[in-house]
Amino acid sequence: MIRARILAATAMLAALSGCISLAPEPEVPVVTAELPEQYLYVENAGEYRPEAWWTAFDDPVLDTLVARALESNLDIAEAAARVEQASAQARLARSALLPTVVFNRDTTSSSTPLSGSPFGGIAGGGGPDRIENDTFSFGVGAAYELDLFGRARNDLAATRADALAVEQNFRSVQLAVAAETISAYFDVVDTRRQIELTVASLDVLQDRAARTQERFARGLAQSFELYQIEQELRAAQAALPQLESALSAHEGRLAILLGTYRPEVESILSAPLIPTLVFDAVPVGLPSDLLAQRPDVAAAWARLEAARLRIGARRAERYPQPSLVASFGSQGGGVGSALNIFDNWAASFALSMVAPIFDGGRISANIEAARAVYAQNAAAYTRSVITAFAEVDTALSDYEEQRQRYLLIAAQLTEAQSSLDLQRRRFAAGVGSYTAYLDALRNVYQVESSLSGAARATALSRLNVHRALGGDWAPDSQPLPLEMRPLADGPAGDVMP
């Protein structure tokens, strides 16, 4: 009768298990719910397609660098390992919802003296003076907590949300590495061009300074003109080492991003660097797409969900926690008899329930702490959404301004080249001076230098638009496993100090 009642109660609790959750309902912060329907500086609101967007620059070297960075970057490898760790922790939390089954094998041997025991006075003293006892048992035991109020289920769901946040952080690292690689590449392209133009300008300035020195010696030029030309020559000479140092720093940054050393990067960069600028407007989609596209926003939402679920888990600790414990096995005085399960079997089944009565305020404090964490994550999520929207608007505005600036400088270069052609024709016709031709040529180099900087700024502003929009830039790329080698070669079994 008692066993039947226990089984009936167990069946009822098992039916209720999984039906109750004390976590609050999901809520979207008000500021996030009021996200604008479109961006302020939108030109093309078509569907955003982020995958491998940098291939529009039509530069094989850039494509190679980004692909290598996504495969070999050590920050990505570290983030990938954190994803594996979070996945394992989620599986660990899932174990709380499953029964625990163990195998027991016990061997007990005892030898007890009869002297001083109730059997110690056997008449005639012919009986044994000790009691020997050997017991062998085999069995299987199982324990299972009925998650009636959702403590384990909410903790599991929270851990899975944490794992999702870590996965989104991995995407953030991928995006950042690709963006930094693109940025470093355009820095290399611009710096190399600046070095070329500086060397060309030095040749012109040296020729110009020599001619001014000659004219000054003949009294045809003032000292101010000579000093000015010489100062410009010294400034160009001083700028060259700075540019070469900057180029070395950019190449070193690429080596770090690719997880390798400078010689390999220099080998990749030995090919012609010929990126084609792209001036088309970027299709940006709707602001609401940012909630899924931006990995930092998605990670913030996952952390908010985890905090919400943990409130339910901490609330569930206030209520009874029923558990089932069962065992089945056999027992005997020897191994053979213990293995005779049909005759010497033993079984037990128990239903227990633990409920808190007084804990000094521990559960209430944990609930309040969980609510405070939820409030923190709600603020963090709202901030991430507002920041994402502002970054997109800022990037779109900057992209438009940089494109306009590039076009203006390109028009200025056309005018400077026309002036150079005029001075060349005048000098060839004998009606113009060679000095005027050199000045026009130096002006062309200066405008070309400005145009190279404007091209870099335009490319990086387009990069910032894509970076602000987020998305899966290279969804199929996976980091290569980090190759590990022993610290030193030595005999098997040696241990490094």
Is the torsion defined by CA of 157, 160, 164, 165 positive or negative? positive
Residue 491 has pLDDT above 50, yes or no: no
C-alpha span between 459 and 190 (Å, rounded): 11
Residue 341 has what pLDDT? 67
Mean pLDDT to the nearest integer, 31-58: 88
Q: Residue written as tokens 């002006």?
A: 443
Q: What is the pLDDT of residues 154-184, one digit of tens each?
A: 998 999 999 999 999 999 999 999 999 999 9
CB 57 within 8 A of CB 276: yes
The DSSP result for 7-32, as a single string, is HHHHHHHHHHTTS---SPPP---HHH
pLDDT at 175: 96
Using the predicted structure, report yes or no on whether residue 2 has a pLDDT greater than 60.
no
pLDDT bin (cut points 50, 70, 90) of residue 399 is: very high
Q: Measured at the alpha carbon of residue 80, what is the angle toward residues 65 and 284, in degrees to the nearest 5?
A: 60
Residues 246-294 pLDDT 10s: 999 999 999 999 999 999 999 999 999 999 999 999 999 999 999 999 9
What are the Cα distances from residue 392, in Å, to 294, 384, 496?
A: 11, 12, 52
pLDDT for position 93: 81
d(C-alpha 42, C-alpha 399), whole Å? 11
CA pair distance 395, 422, nearest whole angstrom: 41
pLDDT at 336: 64
493 falls in which pLDDT band (50, 70, 90)? very low
Give, in order, the Cα–Cα distances in Å from 162 to each of 63, 86, 171, 264, 338: 33, 7, 14, 38, 48
249-253 long-range contacts (CB < 8 A, ≥24 apart) are: 250/184, 250/187, 250/188, 250/191, 251/188, 253/180, 253/184, 253/187
- Identity of the amino acid at 205: L
Among 244-253, 419-428, 464-473, the least confident range: 419-428
- Give the least confident one: 10-14, 429-433, 446-450: 10-14
Contact by Cβ (8 Å): 448, 413 = yes
pLDDT in tens, 87-104: 888 888 887 777 777 777
Per the structure block, which two tokens stand in for 425? Answer: 């024709």
How confident is the model over 176-233, as pLDDT tens digits?
999 999 999 999 999 999 999 999 999 888 887 787 777 767 776 677 777 777 888 8
Measured distance CA(394)–CA(252) in Å, rounded? 30
Q: At residue 302, what are phi and psi to the nearest 5 degrees?
A: -65, -40
Question: Where does the pLDDT of residue 123 fall: very low under 50, low under 70, confident under 90, or very high at 90 and above?
Answer: very low
With contact defined as beta carbons under 8 Å apart, do 315 and 26 qualify?
A: no
What is the per-residue pLDDT for 322? Answer: 83
Beta strands, E only, 21-120: 100-113
Distance between CA 494 and CA 497 in Å, rounded? 9
Q: Which residue has the higher pLDDT, 66 or 22?
A: 66
- The pairs formed by 199-206 with CB atoms below 8 angstroms and a separation of 24 or more are 199/240, 200/445, 201/236, 201/442, 201/445, 201/446, 202/233, 202/236, 202/237, 202/240, 204/438, 204/441, 204/442, 204/445, 205/229, 205/232, 205/233, 205/236, 205/442, 206/233
pLDDT at residue 116 in the model: 57
pLDDT in tens, 432-461: 788 888 889 999 999 999 999 999 999 999
Report the share of the chain in percent with pLDDT over 90: 49
pLDDT > 70 in the chain, percent: 85
Angle at which helices 434-469 and 362-428 pack, to 10 degrees? Answer: 160
Lay out the sheet containing 321-332: strands in order across. Answer: 100-113, 130-145, 321-332, 345-354
Averaged pLDDT for residues 43-66:
92
134, β-bridge pairs: 109
What is the residue-averaged pLDDT of the chain? 84
CB 324 within 8 A of CB 143: yes
Pick the CATH number of 17-97+149-323+364-469 from 1.20.1600.10, 2.60.40.730, 3.40.630.30, 3.20.20.70: 1.20.1600.10
Tell me the average pLDDT across 368-382. Answer: 95
H or E stretch at 206: helix 151-217
